[in-house]
C-alpha cells in the first residue's frame, strides 16, 4: 500500500465515521445559512435594489439546506443498517474469508472468490434490508457505496480474521496430526485443557477439551474439499462415548449441505478453525437456548416424559 492509498483509507474512514456520529447534526443547515447570507451580500454589493432578489436567494438557500439535511439523514440510515447487519453476521463473514482467501507463492492474498462472496452478501443481505429510496441512492452512487463497504465490511472483517489467527501458526501444508495439535494449542491458549487422542482407536475424537462445566470432543479435518456426513456421525458418537457436553467438527475447509443438515439435527457444532477462540461462547449460547426452550415447555405444561 502506497502513501496515496494510506491517505485514501484515512479519508474514507473519517468520512464514514463523521456520518455515523452526525445524529441531529445541523451542519447542512448552517452551511446553507452561511451561503445564503454570502449571496445576499454579493447581490447588495452589486447594487440590486429589488427585494425579490433577496427573497429568491433565501428560498433557494433554504431548499438546498433541507435537501442536504435529508441526504445526510438518509446516508446515515444506510450506514447504520449496514453496520448492524455486518456485526450480526461477523462470524459467518470471517469464516467465509478464511475459506476463500488464499496466499500465492509470493505471499500475496488472492481475494477474487472472497470479493464475489461479498457481492453476494450485499445482494442477499444488505440491499434487501434497505428501503426503496435507499437502494436507489446506493445504485446511483456505487463509488461512495463501495467506499462505505470497505470501511464497514472489508477492512473490519480482514482485521478480525487476522486477530483470530495471529500467533496460531496455522499452515495449510501441515498434516492431519499437526492440524489436530494446532487445534489443541489454540484452545489451550484460550483457557481450555485440551489434549489430542491416539492416532488409532480414538472413537471419533481427535481432541478432547475441558473448561469449567464444558467437556467437548472435536473431530479435526484438514481437507481440500468440503467435509461430509461421516465426520459429523463420528463426532456425535464420540460425544456419548466420552460423556461430553458437546461435539464439534473443525476444519480448514467447508461442509457439505448434507453434513450441515445432519449437524443441525444431532446438535454437532461445525467450525472453521479460525472460530476456535469463540468455542466457549458458541457452546454457551447453544446451552442457553436449550434451557430457554425447556423453560418455555415447562411453563406451557409440557413436562419431559409426559403427554400434554
Total tally of structural domains belonging to the chain: 2
Domain residue limits at 248 = 176-296
Q: Can you tell me the distance from the alpha carbon of 122 to that of 107, in angstroms, rounded to the nearest whole number?
A: 28
* Single residue among 132, 165, 198 that ends a domain in this structure: 165
- At 64, the pLDDT band (50, 70, 90 cuts) reads low
Looking at the structure, do residues 230 and 115 belong to the same domain, yes or no?
no
Looking at the structure, do residues 213 and 238 belong to the same domain, yes or no?
yes
* Single residue among 144, 165, 186 that ends a domain in this structure: 165
Q: Can you tell me the distance from the alpha carbon of 297 to that of 280, in angstroms, rounded to the nearest whole number?
A: 26
Which is more confidently placed, 280 or 165? 280
Q: What pLDDT, on a 0 to 100 scale, did the predictor assign at position 173?
A: 79
Would the pTM of this model clear 0.85, i.e. be above it? no
* Percent of the chain with pLDDT strictly greater than 70: 64
pLDDT, tens only, 146-194 = 988 999 999 999 888 777 655 556 777 788 888 888 898 889 888 898 8
pLDDT, tens only, 230-257 = 999 999 999 999 999 999 999 999 999 9
Q: What pLDDT, on a 0 to 100 scale, did the predictor assign at position 1?
A: 45
pLDDT, tens only, 10-50 = 666 676 666 666 655 555 555 566 666 666 666 666 666 56
Q: Can you tell me the distance from the alpha carbon of 279 to that of 288, in angstroms, rounded to the nearest whole number?
A: 14
Where do runs of H (alpha helix) occur along 131-195? 132-140, 142-149, 155-165, 176-188
The answer on pLDDT for 288 being more than 70 is no
Amino acid at each position: 500500500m502506497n502513501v496515496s492509498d494510506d491517505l485514501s483509507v484515512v479519508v474514507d474512514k473519517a468520512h464514514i465515521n463523521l456520518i455515523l456520529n452526525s445524529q441531529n447534526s445541523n451542519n447542512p443547515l448552517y452551511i446553507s445559512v452561511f451561503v445564503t447570507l454570502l449571496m445576499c451580500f454579493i447581490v447588495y454589493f452589486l447594487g440590486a435594489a429589488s427585494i425579490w432578489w433577496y427573497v429568491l436567494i433565501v428560498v433557494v438557500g433554504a431548499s438546498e439546506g433541507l435537501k442536504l439535511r435529508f441526504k445526510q439523514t438518509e446516508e446515515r440510515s444506510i450506514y447504520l443498517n449496514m453496520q448492524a447487519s455486518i456485526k450480526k453476521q461477523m462470524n459467518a463473514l470471517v469464516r467465509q474469508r478464511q475459506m476463500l482467501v488464499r496466499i500465492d507463492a509470493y505471499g500475496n492474498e488472492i481475494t477474487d472468490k472472497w470479493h464475489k462472496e461479498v457481492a453476494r452478501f450485499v445482494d442477499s443481505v444488505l440491499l434487501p434490508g434497505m428501503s426503496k429510496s435507499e437502494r436507489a441512492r446506493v445504485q446511483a452512487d456505487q463509488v461512495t457505496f463501495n467506499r462505505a463497504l470497505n470501511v464497514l465490511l472489508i477492512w473490519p472483517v480482514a482485521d478480525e480474521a487476522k486477530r483470530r489467527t495471529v500467533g496460531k501458526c496455522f499452515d495449510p501444508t501441515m498434516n492431519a496430526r499437526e492440524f489436530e495439535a494446532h487445534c489443541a494449542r489454540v484452545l489451550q491458549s484460550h483457557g481450555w485443557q485440551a489434549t489430542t487422542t491416539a492416532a488409532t482407536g480414538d472413537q471419533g475424537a481427535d481432541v478432547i477439551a475441558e473448561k469449567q462445566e464444558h467437556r467437548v470432543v472435536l473431530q479435526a479435518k484438514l481437507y481440500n474439499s468440503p467435509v461430509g456426513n461421516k465426520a459429523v456421525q463420528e463426532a456425535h458418537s464420540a460425544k456419548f462415548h466420552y460423556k461430553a457436553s458437546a461435539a464439534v467438527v473443525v476444519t480448514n475447509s467447508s461442509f457439505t449441505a448434507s453434513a450441515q443438515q445432519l449437524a443441525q439435527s444431532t446438535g454437532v457444532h461445525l467450525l472453521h478453525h479460525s472460530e476456535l477462540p469463540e468455542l466457549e461462547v458458541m457452546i454457551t449460547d447453544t446451552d442457553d437456548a436449550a434451557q430457554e426452550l425447556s423453560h418455555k415447555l415447562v411453563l406451557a405444561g409440557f413436562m419431559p416424559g409426559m403427554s400434554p
